[in-house]
Structure 1
Amino acid sequence: MSLLDRYVFSEWLKIFVLALAATLGILLLERLYDDLPDFIGWGATTWEVLKYFGLYTPSFLPTIIPISLLISLLFSLGNLHRNNEIVAMRSAGMNLWRITRSLWVAGAVLSALLLYLNARLVPWSVEQSRILKDNLHFASEEERVDKRYIGNIPLLCFDNQSEGRMWFMNNFSEYSYEGFGINVYQHDAYGRETGRVMAREGYFDDVDNHWVFIDGRDQKIDPASGEVYFSRPFEKKAYPDFTEDPVLMKTLSKKPQDLSYFELEMLLDKIPVESNPKMKSYEIRLMNILASPFRCLVVVGIAIPFAVAGVRTNPLVGVSKSVGLFVLYYVISSISRLLGEQELIPLAISAWLPLVLMLGLSVHLFRKVS
């Protein structure tokens, strides 16, 4: 690395570290404001609170790194431009790529880092912090609430299209993994109802890997006429064919943006998009996680042209244009995701199109000011 590269890089790095620390601190304070009253109410110790925020902190990084990168690039390059250092470098015969190549390398390194974070560290962070928080919550309720109603998920539904079963539960306990008010509707290949199981409660036998229902009724239905030709009550009955994993059911009850990379992979592995249209949004979310690290290159591409060619009498013009393009990227991403969910464009294109468009625009702007 030449002396010039080290100088430009160091000027940027100082601002980047400060912006990263400030943004992270603000987000942690906001999270602390939201969650601390709950932890105090649950009787959590200081160590448990610190452990939770230590586990949760990495999940902020995919959001704040691109923002901090944008702020630091605009600020550091803006300073170089206002001090006429960019002009001096260009007068020495250096083009814009020669001046800013260390920043492009930094953007590529941050993209690789975010790819690792999204694929490994952040999923672990999200899951472990959620487990710790849930355990504290469940432990605080264990003495005053029936364990079957701790961690209650109301109206849990699961459509197992591959095996022709539709599940409805009035309530499901994340603590005891028991369901209450259970109705399971069975269908044939043509979508006609062939049977129905209704039970007051049920649980998943994780030894034999099937569901056991308590205090219920088993019905058989003629698919042609829709009439019930068999109906028998039972006190307790095991259903070896009912192998639906309650962890899968619980995970599907959450929004795609609330799930980790590992959880999304697990869902899509067990429920392919072809078997359930609902899974489109989960696959798009997974693809967006893989594509999002390359936002760092987009940020570098849109920040450099406006920072070095800003209007000297009003530097905020270049800054506002860069921020506007950054916001435009997120608008295009939202529209593209919606088009993918509606099957108007392929899912892969919906995830990668915004990135390709903005990278193309970045290259154009960069060449224009070079």
Structure 2
Amino acid sequence: MKKIHKYITIFFLKTFFISLAFFVLLFVLSDFFSNLSDIVGNGVSIKYIISYYVYYTPFIIYFSLPFIFALSSLVSLGYLSSKNEIIVMRSSGLSIFKIAKPVLFFSIIVAVLMFASKELIVNYGLEKASFVKHYYFKNKQFKLGWTKVGNMFIKVNGLNVTNNMAYNVTAYRVDKDFNRVEAIITAKRVKFKPKEIIFIDGCSFNMPNFSQGRCFKDFKIKTNKSFYSLFSSSKFKEPSIKSLVFSYKHSLDKDYYLSLIIHRFVYPFSCIILTLISFVFVLKTNPRRGGFVKNVFSSSLVFLVYIGSLELISSMGRYSMVDPNISIVIFILFWLSVSVYNLLKLGV
């Protein structure tokens, strides 16, 4: 049994890493050509191009892992099945779960690693990557920029990326309902540190008549945003799970944050569900039935439908179009029941 598992593990891992490398390379090349005009137009050096893709690659891997893992499972086990090797193993009394035990075990490990990496690596990489793209690819000179911290909108006329400094800054503090400007703060320099922003050599004026002007040497405000996240624009950026839970507890828009929290758990779990679905196509593949290529193509469509449906339900939940809890539970139960039913029907 150990020899069988070792044989399957080696064959599966080869397929998995080749598939993952191919997908990442394809994605990087596609993204590179889409940014080529900005890169050439701004004369971006090779150093920043490489750093951008180094920071962006963890997200590519995270996003593609459920699909790539399930497809690799099908290709590796399905190929063995098409050569009668899986049938021989099953005829000796082994179930598909015993045969594919290493693959199922790896899917659980990958799901846990996906969740952990999203918190520790992927989000950080996205912040850095989106900053490089925004600052060096799109707006290299950075003559003017805006960012938002709490109820304060900050206008920046220059950045020093090396020292995390901004120059000639004007900040507009609005009321809690964002209806009017309460105060205007000007500063020659602003230093961005972890968990705080320091305005240096500036003055504060209360609105609407610029009354009670007060100048200061330094003025501090708290923030949980990093320097890179403040001066970058990326629709993919997401806060940590801790920040999401905090926002859920203190926000009126419960559905939005609840959907993000659920998605953070469910998407890595998809690796296990899609692996179970891949076993269905493995059992359908054998020399008598044939159709190995057909099954690979069909399973790819099923995997894409699953991921697309999950993203659609999550997006609808964020905007209160569906109940996030009920929709995700029904979705997961549906795919689990489909995979288990088909496995039982085919004889696990």
TM interval, shorter chain, is 0.7 to 0.9
1:340 aligns with 2:314: no
1:323 aligns with 2:312: no
From the superposition, tell whether residues 25 and 185 of structure 1 become closer, same or farther in structure 2 (CA, over 3 Å): same
- The answer as to 2:99 corresponding to 1:110 is no
Q: Tell me the CA shift for residue 255 of structure 1.
A: 8.6
Deviations 1:16-60 (CA, angstroms, capped at 9, x unpaired): 221111111111112222335434444443333323322322221
2:207 maps to which of 218, 222, 225: 218
Partner of 2:339: 362
SS in structure 2 at match of 1:141 = coil
> Which one scores higher on RCO, CA 8 angstroms, separation ≥ 6?
2
Q: Look up the SS of the partner of 1:93 in the other structure.
A: coil
Q: Deviations over 1:175-194 (max 9, x none)?
A: 4387769472456xxx9x8x
The structure whose Rg is larger is 1
Tell me the distance in 2 between the aligned counterparts of 1:350 and 1:287: 11
| Inter-CA distance 367–52: structure 2 relative to 1 (3 Å threshold) | same
Whether the aligned pair in 1 keeps the contact of 2:15 and 2:75 (CA below 8 Å) is yes
Query: Which residue number corresponds to residue 223 of structure 1?
Result: none
Q: Select which of 291, 296, 305 maps to 2:271.
A: 296
The residue type paired with residue 174 of structure 2 is V
User: Over aligned residue pairs, what C-alpha RMSD do you find?
Assistant: 4.3
1:363 alignment partner AA: V
How far the C-alpha of 1:272 sits from its partner, in A, is 2.5
Counterparts of 2:329 and 2:168, CA distance in 1? 40
Q: 1:67 offset after TM fit, Å?
A: 2.3
Q: Which amino acid aligns with 1:197?
A: E
Q: Matches of 2:31 and 2:53 in 1, distance apart?
A: 9
203-212 or 174-183, larger mean C-alpha shift = 203-212
Write the distance in 2 (CA, Å) between the matches of 1:201 and 1:367.
69
* C-alpha separation in 2, matches of 1:157 and 1:132: 19
CA spacing shift, 1:35–1:359, aligned 2, 3 Å: same
**CA–CA distance in structure 1, aligned partners of residues 316 and 117 of structure 2:** 27
Question: Whole-Å Cα distance in 1 between the matches of residues 92 and 271 of structure 2?
Answer: 29
TM-score normalised per structure 1: 0.70
In structure 2, distance between residues paired with 1:5 and 1:89: 11
Give TM-score, length-normalised by structure 2.
0.74
Match of 2:57 in 1: 57
C-alpha distance in 1 between matches for 2:306 and 2:191: 47
Unaligned runs of 5+ in 1: 161-165, 220-230
Structure 2 partner of 1:268: 244
1:281 aligns with 2:256: yes
Write the distance in 2 (CA, Å) between the matches of 1:47 and 1:253.
20
CA deviation string 1:81-136 (max 9, x = no partner): 22222222222222222222222122222222222322212123222333444554
C-alpha separation in 2, matches of 1:233 and 1:101: 72
- 2 CA distance for matches of 1:63 and 1:209? 33
Aligned partner of 1:95 in structure 2 is 95
Number of residue pairs matched by the alignment: 334
Paired residue type of 1:259: K
1:259 aligns with 2:249: no
Q: Counterparts of 2:158 and 2:237 in 1: how far apart (Å)? A: 16
